[in-house]
Structure 1
Amino acid sequence: MRARSCRCINCITPPHVLKKLLDNSDARVRDAALRTLLATSRLRGERSVRSLFASAAAASSHGRRTISDCSNGTFLATATVARTEDGPAANDEAVNRAFEGLGDTRAFYSEVFDRDSLDGHGMRLNAYVHYGSEYNNAFWNGSEMVFGDGDGVLFTDFTKSIDVIAHELTHGVTEFTAGLQYHNQSGALNESMSDVFGSLVKQWVNKQTAVQADWLIGTDIFTPAIGADALRSLKEPGKAYNSPTLGRDPQPDHMSKYVNLPDNDAGDNGGVHINSGIPNKAFYLAATNIGGFAWEAPGHIWYAALLASTPSTDFQEFADTTYLKSGQLYGTHSAEQQAVLSAWKDVGIRISGVQSLAGTSTRMRRQANGNGHDEDPADVARKIEQLSAQLAMLSKEVAGLKSRGKSH
């Protein structure tokens, strides 16, 4: 298991949405947004203390679930246990939704990726509902899930969206694997991984193909009073919502629109919730180009790339890794690899070394023809595979050197 490097509070509601609500004409909406922002800021300050206790939550238990009720308080230690793995269903639907959502996410990672809970070693799954008063968020704090009830005007109970639950739990998977640093491009990748696998869990539960899926995150956490579609759209970043209440979705869908923001709380740590739209769109394009169920080939490619990533992996490095992994899993020049290549190109990222690799293949064939004989296509394929493996090794070494350089 890789050392954990993420020390942050990962929230589903982007700060730019909450800040927009501070200007709302409804005092209840303004107050709820302010309390949510303040509570989240305070939680970030407590994160280093809480990490000392994370090992206790990580004890192997095959992902056994415990749901606790905060009763609108914010001190988790005083929450009351409301449902356990062996206990009956609760009378509180928020408790039951959290319980089922944790179970569905656990089952997804187990059955699709043979992963035993978030850390791969049976980490216990703890969740807390009814956190705070009209708290407009849900978050992963490094050891457990926490859900707010929403303000009741714009947002409702955050346990109502299975993709929100899976999104937050995937922050745990990322923390225990690549440990993607929560700022700038690595942080946007961190958010994108949660959106991708959050959407895949929803698709897996509903048995939807890539074409049938809505590719939206958080459709069920808005009240009927709000006209937004979702918090984010993998299919159309920048078009998840557009209203006077929430403003306009600022996510880009191409590198030419990348948003440079300050690497601090005010700048969303370099725009992690905003620029995640770019890799989100790449996954959507790859999945729909491949077709079928997105948790199959596309999901396995992205998961393998996540496992091979480092804390400082950026968009280019991750794109290169998905291309290499697609070749290793499904064959060089396979339909899956070509779909990955095309997807990243369509969002403005060209896979490193692909042109030179293709040129090598062409030269090899020309040389064979020039010598008066045709080289066995199987030999050509093997040589190309060897070149791909060498490129993968070099990319990994370069990523390691970058990581070590940034740490000094």
Structure 2
Amino acid sequence: MTSSPHCSIVPPYLLSALAASDEPRAAGSARETLRVDELLRRGRVTAEVRPDPTVDARAGAVPDLAPGTAAGPVRSVHDAGGGTDLPGTGVRAEGDGPSGDEQVDQAYDGLGATWAMWQEEYARTSLDGKGLPLLATVHYGQDYDNAFWDGRQMVFGDGDGVVFLPFTRSLDVIAHELAHGVTQYTSGLNYQGQSGALNESVSDVFGVLVVQHHLGQSADEADWLVGADLLAPGVQGVALRSMKAPGTAYDDPRLGTDPQPAHMRDYVATTADNGGVHINSGIPNKAFHDLAVALGGNAWEVAGQVWYDTVVGDIRADCDFATFAGLTLAAASARYGEDSPVVAAVRSAWTGVGVLPGDEDGGAAADGAQADPPVADEEPGDADPTTVRVRRTGGVAGTVRERTVDLTELPVDDAHHWRSLLAAGRLRRIAEAARTPDPVRDGFCWTVACDAPPLAVDLPESGLTPEVRGLLDRTVRRD
């Protein structure tokens, strides 16, 4: 199991907009939520957020529960009583009847519906595949405007009642956060940049699939919204996010306008929100939606199976969009055959959002760069790159590392990433974007060259994304 970051459903940029609004109660709740979330991210919530003195002293004890089995989950719902001690006082255990507290019972039912889809469709017994008990806490904090997975359990706020309603109302939110637990026990996608956006997108995907599975909806019948039940009356919007049409979920004076892009040409380069994990997740979200609709029927059956096979397969924690796209193609080929229409549909979905190169736009850069017209000597299809020469120079000591490698010798995800970089002038554009007016003295520089397509570029290391730098480093270090 990998470590898990604090993963919350409402992104910080949305809470910041609400905190600056002229709605007193909502603004105050948003500011307090931001404060608590920051403490949670730093792992200091128990030290800096005062617990409610009325909460039972036993509230901090984590129940010792036997694991669930394929026959059913083990659920335990707790009440924080408006405080921040976790897990809170136990109020409903597995097999108990309704408690009479709507949020307790919504959480209990949501945990069960989530468990059911993972078990029934993918034969996965709970989040870890080994029957992990499902633990949840409701009534967390005072008008707390969020829900989160903390690596051990689900936590739900009551919302401010003005913009956000109680977070247990939304099954896709419950399922989204629990899917972070699946990621934690499988791919462990780093919560930063493109891998972080994939982390969020995977949770959105399986969040909506749980809803569709629970309601028996086909891909065409589903609304593809995340958090549709959270927004209070009067909010100008339909949800937190739309997988069908990223960037259209809300346009409200208090919340601002939904910033999600639906295509790589609109990729948002930012240091906020862990490098835009909640923003740029719109791109892989759109790809999954388009795939599911193109295939038709129930989205969890084929499209969901491809995504599941990918996240539990041979995937690195620093995976970027292009690499993930390649892995979904490999997963589709392995399960349905290389010539299957499923593989063609997967490729078309990623091409449609600009992650894989396509005829229409010449291939959009998976590093977030604006798509340019293809370079004449690097047109896709002119030559399939097979060999690449990688050289790293610079530093005070003048160290040189270099290697020539046959791409067929690399792991499939790295080989696909290289082919994506070498296609349609992408690496040349990355090199141009990495150059700075004031280069770092004695800074390291990478040189990448290949014969087909003909290419030789220099890439200042200080200007590269972590994903590209990691690929270069792994390639030159291979034995």
Considering fraction of residues, name the structure with more helix.
1
Distance across 1 between alignment mates of 2:410 and 2:11: 37
Q: Hey, what's the Cα distance between the residues in 2 that align with 1:144 and 1:403?
A: 37
1:395 correspondence with 2:416: no
Give yes or no for contact 1:216–1:234 (8 Å, CA) kept in 2.
Answer: yes
Paired letter, 2:354 = G
On the 8 A contact 1:324/1:392 being kept in 2, the answer is no
Q: Deviation of residue 24 (structure 1)? A: 1.2
Q: For residues 95 and 341 of structure 1, do their structure 2 counterparts lie closer, same or farther at Cα, with a shift above 3 Å needed?
A: same
Change (3 A) 1:105 1:174: same
Question: 5 Å matches for 1:43-54?
Answer: 43-46=40-43
Pairing partner for 2:262 from 248, 253, 275: 253
CA distance in 1, matches of 2:284, 2:65: 29
Deviates more, 1:296-305 or 1:328-337: 328-337
In structure 1, which of residues 219, 224, 234 is the aligned counterpart of residue 233 of structure 2?
Answer: 224
CA distance in 1, matches of 2:316, 2:323: 10
Q: 2:412 is matched by which residue type in structure 1?
A: S
Out of 316, 319, 325, which is 1:319 matched to?
A: 325
Q: 1:48 to 1:76 in 2, by over 3 A?
A: closer
Question: In 1, Cα distance between the equivalents of 2:204 and 2:239?
Answer: 12
In structure 1, runs of 5+ residues without a counterpart are 360-389
Instruction: Name the residue aligned to 1:4.
Output: 2
1:237-252 pair list within 5 angstroms: 237-252=246-261
In structure 2, the CA distance between the partners of 1:114 and 1:346, relative to structure 1 (3 Å rule), is: same
Residue 206 of structure 1 corresponds to which residue in structure 2?
215
Q: Map of 1:72-83 to 2, 5 A cutoff?
A: 72-77=82-87, 79-83=88-92
C-alpha contact 1:47 1:141 (8 A) present in aligned 2: no
**Aligned positions of 1:344-383 closer than 5 A:** 344-350=350-356
Instruction: Give the corresponding residue for 2:180.
Output: 171
Partners of 2:472 and 2:245 in 1: how far apart?
32
Aligned equivalents of 1:124 and 1:356: distance in 2? 50
The aligned counterpart of 1:30 is 27
Structure 2: unaligned runs, 5 residues or longer: 48-59, 359-379, 385-406, 418-466
1:136 alignment counterpart? 145
- Give the Å deviation of 1:76: 1.2
Give the match for residue 114 of structure 1. Answer: 123
Which of 100, 106, 123 in structure 2 is aligned with 1:97? 106
Q: Distance in 2 between matches of 1:358 and 1:210?
A: 38
Partner of 1:284: 289
Deviation at 1:87, TM superposition (A): 1.8
**Partner secondary structure for residue 43 of structure 2:** helix
1:61 maps to which residue? 68
Q: Residue 219 of structure 1 aligns to which amino acid in structure 2? A: A
Indicate the residue corresponding to 1:385 in structure 2: none
Provide Cα deviations, 1:148-193, integer angstroms capped at 9, x if missing partner.
0000111010000100000000000001000000000000000000
Q: Is the 8 A contact 1:134 1:148 kept in 2?
A: yes
Which stretch shows the higher mean deviation, 62-71 or 166-175? Answer: 62-71
Partner of 2:142: helix, strand, or coil?
coil
How far apart, in 2, do the equivalents of 1:85 and 1:176 lie?
23
- The secondary structure found in structure 1 opposite 2:213 is helix
User: Per-residue deviation at 1:48?
Assistant: 11
Q: Secondary structure at the match of 1:337?
A: helix
Distance apart, 1:393 and its partner CA: 7.0
Shift of 1:394: 3.3
Q: Which amino acid aligns with 1:28?
A: R
Question: Aligned to 1:116, what secondary structure does the other structure show?
Answer: coil
Q: 1:94 to 1:319 in 2, by over 3 A?
A: same
Kindly report structure 1 stretches of 4+ aligned residues shifted beyond 2 Å. 47-50, 55-63, 355-359, 390-394, 396-406
For 2:37, the equivalent position in structure 1 comes to 40
Quick check: which has more Rg, 1 or 2? 2
- Are residues 1:307 and 2:307 paired? no
Shift, 1:205, TM fit: 0.6
Alpha-carbon distance in 2 for matches of 1:288, 1:84: 38
Aligned residues: 366
Q: Tell me how far apart the structure 2 counterparts of residues 336 and 116 of structure 1 sit (CA, whole Å).
A: 27
Question: How far does residue 391 in structure 1 lie from its aligned partner after superposition?
Answer: 6.4
What do residues 342-393 of structure 1 show as CA deviations (whole Å, max 9, x unaligned)?
00000002279xx76998xxxxxxxxxxxxxxxxxxxxxxxxxxxxxx9697
The one-letter code of the counterpart of 1:41 is E
Offset of residue 60 of structure 1: 3.1
State the TM-score, normalizing by the size of structure 2.
0.72
CA RMSD of aligned residues (A): 2.9
The amino acid across from 2:79 in the alignment is: D
Residue 220 of structure 1 aligns with an amino acid whose one-letter code is D
Q: Output one character per residue of 1:218-256: Cα deviation in whole Å (capped at 9) or x when no partner.
A: 000111121210000000001111121211100011111
Q: Is the 8 A contact 1:69 1:128 kept in 2?
A: yes
| Amino acid across the alignment from 1:326 | A
* Change in 2 beyond 3 A, CA 1:402/1:60: farther
Could you tell me the percent identity over the aligned residues? Answer: 45
Deviation (angstroms), 1:5:
3.9
Q: Structure 2 residue aligned with 1:180, among 185, 189, 204?
A: 189
CA–CA distance in structure 1, aligned partners of residues 44 and 383 of structure 2: 48
**CA distance in structure 2 between the aligned counterparts of 1:56 and 1:172, rounded to whole angstroms:** 18
Question: Distance in 2 between the 1:57 and 1:285 partners?
Answer: 43
Give the TM-score of the pair, scaled to structure 1.
0.84
Note the C-alpha offset of 1:42.
0.8
Where relative contact order (Cα < 8 A, 6+ residues apart) is larger, the structure is 1
